Amino acid sequence: MSTDAVKSLSLAPWRKRSSARLFFDLALIGIGIAAFFVFPSNLGFVTRVLIMIILVLSLDLVIGYAGIATLGHAALFGSGAYAAGLFAVYVSADPITGLAVGAVAGGIIAFLSGLILLRATGLTLLMLSVAIAQILLEIANKERPITGGSDGLLGIDMDPIFGVFAFDFLGKTGFWYVFIVLVVVFFFLKLVVSSPFGLAARGIHESPARMRAIGTPVYWRLVAVYTLAGTIAGIAGALSAQVTELVSLEALGFTLSAEALIMLILGGTGRLYGAIFGTLIFMSVHHWAASIDPFNWLFVIGGLVLVVVFFVPHGLLGLPAKLRQWTGPKR
């Protein structure tokens, strides 16, 4: 057999997987576009789902790929939200510039806090991440003349995007704005996780000692990953502030961090598709259960999480493989 034939055979599985992933990516984009036409009266909720997907994608980069345990991811989201909101109120209401400001704010907070957080591990790291978020929450609450305190930051009135596309009451412009940003973020993260940088993050997750042995600067690589994730979380926060034209203390609250983590667990960590799928499941179940019983909907979410943890520990995205394992021939 010739060398070219051998190469063709060896590349065949890779090409098949690449084609399947491309098809899946296009299918996801198609579903997102279809949502605009299927839910014309619920675009506000759909847009909120898209924003949460961006946040959970950033969390997956931290937990799923780099193995950084955190319960304070809302600190990065809220930093971007307040930065973009304050920029719109006091400087400029241009959406694109405000989006960049939110991204920078999230990245700066992630870098500064990461210098401290990433020197710790385990429970200490978890508690420190919660502490950082609570400190920022208290600052936002105390600086009432600037941030609005418990009343929230009001007076955000965004200019049209590129001076042409004005934000409307039905949320059409907001939907497409957030959707396009989500697509860009998703494909950017696909490049990141498959790059040497992303592979190094995976290696650190699996064995920090081994990565140090081959010369990888583990600490600074984790800081870089955390900063990148903070930048993306800041983008999500900025989008939330611009689309809703309001920033409340909930953007920095522990509940948001916990819900984002649950979404990631439901879908499966270490896979970008898992972040998307988990967010869709959580937000849909939340919306449905809360409409039936606004006070006890958490029972449904709690039951779903228990089922996933015990029966599909790698997330609902791994359910097909688990079903094949259960129904396949016994050896």
pLDDT in tens, 78-127: 999 999 999 999 999 999 999 999 999 999 999 999 999 999 988 899 99
Q: Write out pLDDT tens, residues 198-249.
A: 999 999 999 888 999 988 899 999 999 999 999 999 999 999 999 999 999 9
Cα–Cα nearest to 189, from 177, 178, 201: 201
Mean pLDDT of all residues in the chain? 87
Q: What is the pTM of this model?
A: 0.90
Q: What are phi and psi for residue 255, nearest 5 degrees?
A: -60, -40
**Residue 68, pLDDT above cutoff 70:** yes
**Residue 6, pLDDT above cutoff 50:** no
* Residue in the structure block whose two tokens are 């193995």: 67
Query: What is each CA distance from 240 to 81, 198, 280, in whole angstroms?
Result: 7, 27, 17
Q: What are phi and psi for residue 296, nearest 5 degrees?
A: -125, 20
Model confidence band, residue 320 (pLDDT cutoffs 50, 70, 90) = low
Q: Write out pLDDT tens, residues 69-92.
A: 899 999 999 999 999 999 999 999
**Residue 137, pLDDT above cutoff 70:** yes
Rounded to whole angstroms, the Cα distance separating 245 from 9 reads 55
